[in-house]
Structure 1
Amino acid sequence: MAQNLILVAIVLFLCLMAEKLSGKVGMPALILFMGVGMLFGSDGILRIAFDDYGLAQNICLIALCFIMFYGGFNMKWSAARPVAVKAICLSTIGVVVTAGLTAVFCLVVLKFDFVDAFLMGTVLSSTDAASVFSVLRTKKLNLKDGTASILEMESGSNDPVAYLLTMIGIMMKTGGSLSSLPYMIFAQVVFGLAIGAAAASLGILLLKKGTMQAAGMDMILVIALVMSAFGLSEAIGGNAFLTVYLMGILLGNSNIRGKETLIPFFDGMTGLAQIVLFFLLGLLSFPHKLPQIFFVSLAIAIVLTVIIRPVTVFLIMKPFKCSSRQCLMISWAGLRGAASIVFAIMVIAASSSSSDTLFHTVFMVALLSVAIQGTLLPFVAEKLKMVDDSCDVRMTFNDYKEASEITMMQMEIPEGHNWENRLVKDVSMPTGSLAVMIKRHGETLIPGGDTRILAGDTIVLSVPAYESGGQEHLEEQEITPKHRWCNKTIAELMLPHGTLIVLVRRDNENIIPNGQTEILEGDHVVIYR
C-alpha cells in the first residue's frame, strides 16, 4: 500500500514537471504525460505490465466524462453563440465525412478489411477536446473571426458523434444485428439530450434554491450529478458524452451559486483527469510494437492532416463564406488525441477477436498529431495571420477574469449633495478609492486635491475590486433584447423581498443604480440575494 501511494505521488510529480517543461520546449504537456506512462510501462524503466483493456476503458471513460463536462461547463455561450452553427456542422457532418474518407483510404490504399477500415475511420473521426483546450489555453492563443470558439465547441461536441459511429463499428465487429441500428441512433441522441437537460435542470434548481451547510458541498453535489447523469445515460442506451457535455453547457451558463469556486475546482479536477488519462494510455502501450505500425500510422496521419481534414473543413465552412486562411487554420488545429485512443480501447475491450494493432496504430497517429500539429499550432497561426492580439483567448471561457484588481465607479452630484462646492481633498472618499476624473458640461477634468466639486458633476472613482467572503450570493445577468427587464426602470421591476440590484455594468462604466435607473440592452446587472 505504501509503495503504491509513493509510486502514484512520483507519477504526479513527474507529470507536473513535464507540464513545466512543456512551456520551455514548446511541446504540449499531454504528449509528455504519455511519455511518463511509457517510461513506467512494460518496455520502460519500471516495466509495469499493464494490458487490461477493460479496466483501462473504465478509467478512461470516467476521465473523459469529467473532461467533456468541464469543456461544456467552462464554455462561455455568449462567445460561442455567433459561431455555434459552424461548430456544430463540423462536429456532426464533419465527423461523418472524416470517418468515411479515412475508412476509404484504409480500405483502398492500405488494404484493410471493411470492418477494420470502418473502425479506423470512426475512432479517428473526432478532434480531441483535451488537446485543443490545452494548446489554446497554455499558449494563450486567441484566433481571429471567432476561430478559437469554433475549435473549442467543435472539439467539445464531436466526441458524441464519434462515439455513436464507434458503437456502430463495434456492433459490426462483434456480429450484432444491424436491424437494431435505427433504435440505437434514436436512443443515443434522444436519451442523451433528455438526461443531460434534466440533470442540468435539477442541478440549477438545487444550486439556486438549496443551501449547503458546509463549504465544498456544492462541488460534491455537481460531481454526483455528473456521475449519475453519465451512468444513467449509459445504462439506458443514451449517448453519455452528449449527456454530460450538454449538462455542462447548461449549468455553466446559468446563474448558479458558487460558480466562482466550482470553476477552479473542476479546472483542477480536469487537469488531474488529463494526467490520469494520458499517463494510462502511455502505460498501456508497448513501445517495441510501434515500429511495426509506424509507416501505416504515418501514412494515415499525413493523409488525415493534409488531405482529409482540409477537404472536410473547406466543404463545410466555405458555404458560410469563411476565408481560406480561417479554413486552413481550422484544418491544422484538428488534433487527434486521447478520445480516439479511448475509442480504440473500447473496440478491443468489446471484441475478443481484436488485436492490439488498432490501439497502437491510433496511439501513434495521436502521438504524431499532438507532437507535430500541437507544437506548430502557434507558428501556423502566425504564418496565416490568424493570431488576434486584441483580446485574451481565456475570454471565451467562463473562468476568465480581468487581471486588474480595481474597478471604476461613477457618482452623480445633484444639487444639495454634501460634496457640492467642496474641494476633492476635503470630502470623505470611500476607503481605498481615488477620484480619477470629473465629467462637467461635456468636458473631462483630471482632478487634484484643490479641484472644487460642483452640482451636476459626474465623478469617476477608482475603487478596489470586491472579493466575496463566500457568504454572499451575487449573480450577474446579461440583459438581452428579450429579457423581461430590458428598457424598464428598477422601480418597475417589482423585485422579490431580499433581492437588490447593486451594480449595473454598461460598456466600460459601473453604475450604482437607484429606482430611476433604466436597464438597457447589453447591460450586465449584478444582483444580491
Structure 2
Amino acid sequence: MRDCPSLSLALKRGQRQRYAAFIAAEGIHSCTRQTMMGGEHLRTTHYMAWRGISHMGLGNPPSMREYWAPGARFGYAVMDSVHVYWFATVNHALLQMGSQTACSWVHAQSIGSTCAHRRHAAHLAVVAWLRCDFEIPAKGSDWRGTDFFGGTLVNTITLIVAIVLLSGVLMVRVNKQLGFPALISFVAIGAVFAAFDPGVYETVTPTIAKDLSYLALAFILFEGGLHTSLRRVKRAFAPSISLATVGVIVSAAILTGLAYACLHISFTAAALFGVAASSTDAASVFSVLGGTALRRRLVDVMELESGTNDPMAFFLTTTIIQWQTLTHSSVTHALWYTFVLFLLQMGVGFFVGLLTGQFGAYMNRRIGLETGGMYPALTLGLALLSFALAQLLYGSGFLAVYVTSVVMSNKRIEHRYSILRFHEGLAWVMHILMFVVLGLFLVPRDLVYLALPGVGLALGALFLARPAAVWVSTIGMGFSHRERAFMAWAGLRGAAPIVLILSAVEAQVTGYIVLIEVVFFVVIASTLVQGMTVNWVAEKFDLLDPTPAESILDLISITRENAVILPVGIAETSDLVDKRLVDINFPENTLCYGIVRGDQVVVPRGSTKLRSGDHLLILSDSRHIQNLKHLFHNEQVGSPSMLP
C-alpha cells in the first residue's frame, strides 16, 4: 500500500487517513497505471476493483452489462475511453484528498466539471472521504495486529468463527424441520458476512480461500474413507473407477461445450467450469445414501466413485491451468506432459496413502495412549501428513488422504468409534466452511445477470452431462436401466466444485469472474433438486433393499440416547469371584456385553463365572448408574461413557 501516492503523502504528514479511501486509491491507482495495456485481463481487473469498492460503501460500480458489448451475450467487450477516463478521474480525486486537509462537495464538483462521468467520480471520492469509519494509524505504529472492533484481530476472527458455527448448527436444526437442505443456509451466512464486513475481501483472498478449501476437502475425503470397506471396494471397483475417470471426462466435455456456447467466455474458463461441475461431492453422497435402504451394490459404487473422482477432477483442473504455459509446445508434447503428470499424481498419491495408512494403523495399535481422546488427534495428524507429503512430492494429496483412511478403516484399530464420530463432526465443520466461503465470493447483483445461463447450465449438468457420463462409463457392467438412471440422478454436487473453481479464480483465468456465480447455480440446483428427491426416486425405481443391514451400535445410538457403558474391574477379594453372571442382580435394561480377561475378550453368557482381574463392560441406562455403583461398591468402577 505504500506504493500509493495518496497514502505515502498522508503518512509523511502524519495524518490518520480513512481506511477505505486508501484502499480505493491503491486499487484504482494500480489499474490506471496499466490503462494503456488494454486486454481482457485489464477489464477483469477493473471490474473486480469496482466490485470491491461497491462493497466498501464507496458507491455502485458500473453494471456488468456495461462491460459486455450489446448483442454479445456475456462476452467481454473492449473497454471504451469513457470508462478508462472514469477510473483515472477517481484516482485523481483521491490523490487530491491525500494532499489536502479538507475537501468539500464544491471542490469535488469543480474537478472535471465538463464531464458528467468525472463529476460522478469526484462525488464518489468525497463520499469515501466523509463516510468511511475505519482509519489507518499514523506512520510508525503497527496497525496490522488490530481490527475495527477495538480488540485484536484474533479475537475478531474467533468471534466470526463462533457466530458462523452456531448459526450453522441452528440452521441444520431448523432446515431439518422444514425439509430444506442446510447447506443452502451456509451460503446465505457467507453472503451476509460479505455484505456487512467488506474487509473480508482483504482477509479471505482467492489464494487463502483455495488453500483452506483444499484442506477442508481433504478432511471430508478422509472421513468418507473411514466408512469404506475393502470387501465392498473390490465388488464396486470397476464401475466406480470408470465413473471417476471416463465419467468425469465425458461430463466435463459436455459442460465445457455448453459453457462456451452460453457464456462466450474463453475455452480455458469453460473447461475449468466443466471439470468442476462434473465432480460429485463425497460428503453429500455419504450423508444422503447412508440413511437410505438402497441396494448395497449401488451404495458401494456411488460412495467409492465420490471418493475417487475428486483426485481426477483436481488433476484435470491443474492440467488445464498449466496448459496455458505450453502455448509454444506441440500437441504431442502437451499430451505427453499430461500423461506423465497423471501417472505422477495418481501413483505418488496412491503409494503415499498406502504407506501412511499402514503406518497409522500400526501406530494406533502400538502407541498405547493413556486417554482415548488422543486417538482422533493421531488420525488428524495422519490425514495432514498424507495430504502434505503427497503434495510436496507432486502427487495427489486428495487421493493420498482417501487411501490412508481406507487402509486404516480396514485394519484393527483402537477406539474406532471415537475416531469415526470425531471425523464426522470435523467433516461437517469443513462442509460449513466451504459453503460459507462460496457465499463470501458471491455478488447478488451478478447472480441476477447470470440467472438465466446459470440455471440453464445447472439443468444441463443434471439432465444431460451426468446421465451421459453414467451411461457411457457403465456399458457392459450389468446395471439395469433403472439402476443407471438412479446413479445419474444421485450424483450430488457439493464442496468439491467450490474447491476446484477457486483454483481458476486464484489463477485469474480469462473470464473467471463469472465462474463462481455459475458454479453456485449448479451446486444449489443439485442440493435442492437431487438432495431432496433421492429417496423418492429410489422408491419409485424399486431399488430399496427390504432387509437393510444396519449397524447394531448405530441402532442403539438412535433408539437409546441415554445408554451408557460402565467399566467394572473385579478385585481379588471380591464376593463376585467364581459367581455366575446370571446370579448377579443387575438392574432393569442392563447387560454385560463383554469381559476383558488378560489379553483376551470373553463373550459373556449367563453361565460365565467371574474371575479376579476381570474387567466387565456393562451396558445400561444412565438412570441406573447409581444402582450399579451400589451393586459393585467393592469393585473398581470406572467413569461411565456414552455410546459411540
Normalised to the residue count of structure 1, the TM-score between the two structures is 0.74
Residue 381 of structure 1 corresponds to: 538
Give the letter for the 2:496 counterpart: A
Asked if 1 retains the 8 angstrom alpha-carbon contact of 2:240 and 2:301, the reply is yes
Residue 29 of structure 2 corresponds to: none
Asked if 2 retains the 8 angstrom alpha-carbon contact of 1:142 and 1:148, the reply is no
Among 461, 466, 471, the residue aligned to 2:593: 466
Residue 502 of structure 1 corresponds to: 602
Give the letter for the 2:476 counterpart: P
Q: In the aligned structure 1, how far is the partner of 2:359 from the partner of 2:241?
A: 26
Q: In the aligned structure 2, how far is the partner of 1:27 from the partner of 1:232?
A: 39
Residue 146 of structure 1 corresponds to: 297
Residue 298 of structure 1 corresponds to: 455
Q: Does 1:23 align with 2:150?
A: no
What is the CA distance between 1:500 and its match in structure 2?
Answer: 2.9
Q: In the aligned structure 2, how far is the partner of 1:19 from the partner of 1:203?
A: 33
1:117-163 per-residue CA deviation (whole Å, 9 max, x = no partner) reads 322221122111122223334xx223125222222221111101111
Q: In the aligned structure 1, how far is the partner of 2:371 from the partner of 2:581?
A: 43
Residue 477 of structure 1 corresponds to: none
Residue 267 of structure 1 corresponds to: 424
Relative contact order, higher structure (CA 8 A, sep 6+): 1
- RMSD across aligned C-alpha pairs, in angstroms? 3.1
Q: In the aligned structure 2, how far is the partner of 1:133 from the partner of 1:384?
A: 20
Give the letter for the 1:205 counterpart: Y
Q: Which structure is larger by alpha-carbon Rg, 1 or 2? A: 2
Residue 229 of structure 1 corresponds to: 386
Q: In the aligned structure 2, how far is the partner of 1:101 from the partner of 1:510?
A: 65
Q: In the aligned structure 2, how far is the partner of 1:510 from the partner of 1:95?
A: 56
Q: In the aligned structure 2, how far is the partner of 1:189 from the partner of 1:231?
A: 15
Note closer, same or farther for the CA distance 1:132–1:238 as it changes in structure 2 (3 Å cut).
same
SS in 2 for 1:375: coil
Q: Does 1:254 align with 2:381?
A: no
Q: In the aligned structure 1, how far is the partner of 2:582 from the partner of 2:537?
A: 55
Asked if 2 retains the 8 angstrom alpha-carbon contact of 1:333 and 1:377, the reply is yes
Q: In the aligned structure 2, how far is the partner of 1:352 from the partner of 1:317?
A: 34
Q: Does 1:53 align with 2:210?
A: no
Asked if 1 retains the 8 angstrom alpha-carbon contact of 2:310 and 2:398, the reply is yes
What is the CA distance between 1:234 and its match in structure 2?
Answer: 0.7
Asked if 2 retains the 8 angstrom alpha-carbon contact of 1:28 and 1:134, the reply is no
Q: In the aligned structure 1, how far is the partner of 2:317 from the partner of 2:307?
A: 17
Q: Does 1:129 align with 2:256?
A: no
Residue 211 of structure 1 corresponds to: 368
Note closer, same or farther for the CA distance 1:376–1:45 as it changes in structure 2 (3 Å cut).
farther
Residue 244 of structure 1 corresponds to: 401
Residue 116 of structure 2 corresponds to: none
1:30-72 per-residue CA deviation (whole Å, 9 max, x = no partner) reads 222112212222xx35555426100101111111110011110
Q: In the aligned structure 2, how far is the partner of 1:302 from the partner of 1:87?
A: 24
Q: In the aligned structure 1, how far is the partner of 2:498 from the partner of 2:535?
A: 25
Among 103, 118, 128, the residue aligned to 2:256: 103
Among 138, 144, 166, the residue aligned to 1:13: 166
Residue 357 of structure 2 corresponds to: 200
Asked if 1 retains the 8 angstrom alpha-carbon contact of 2:190 and 2:440, the reply is yes
Higher share in strand: 1
Asked if 2 retains the 8 angstrom alpha-carbon contact of 1:129 and 1:152, the reply is yes
1:481-522 per-residue CA deviation (whole Å, 9 max, x = no partner) reads xxxxxxxxxxxxxxxxx6435349xxxx9999xxxxxxxxxx
Give the letter for the 2:257 counterpart: V
Q: In the aligned structure 1, how far is the partner of 2:555 from the partner of 2:244?
A: 29
Residue 246 of structure 2 corresponds to: 93
Map of 1:352-371 to 2, 5 A cutoff? 353=510, 355-371=512-528
What is the aligned-residue identity percentage?
Answer: 27
Residue 313 of structure 2 corresponds to: 162
Higher share in helix: 2
Asked if 1 retains the 8 angstrom alpha-carbon contact of 2:269 and 2:510, the reply is no
1:223-261 per-residue CA deviation (whole Å, 9 max, x = no partner) reads 111112111111111011000001010111211112121
Asked if 1 retains the 8 angstrom alpha-carbon contact of 2:187 and 2:437, the reply is yes
Q: In the aligned structure 1, how far is the partner of 2:246 from the partner of 2:370?
A: 47
SS in 1 for 2:413: coil
Among 107, 114, 122, the residue aligned to 2:267: 114
Q: In the aligned structure 2, how far is the partner of 1:326 from the partner of 1:15?
A: 34
What is the CA distance between 1:345 and its match in structure 2?
Answer: 0.4
Note closer, same or farther for the CA distance 1:7–1:351 as it changes in structure 2 (3 Å cut).
closer
Q: In the aligned structure 2, how far is the partner of 1:106 from the partner of 1:67?
A: 28
Asked if 2 retains the 8 angstrom alpha-carbon contact of 1:348 and 1:354, the reply is no
Asked if 2 retains the 8 angstrom alpha-carbon contact of 1:27 and 1:374, the reply is no
1:6-30 per-residue CA deviation (whole Å, 9 max, x = no partner) reads 3322221111111012211222222
Note closer, same or farther for the CA distance 1:119–1:3 as it changes in structure 2 (3 Å cut).
closer
Gaps of 5+ in 2: 1-151, 564-579, 609-644
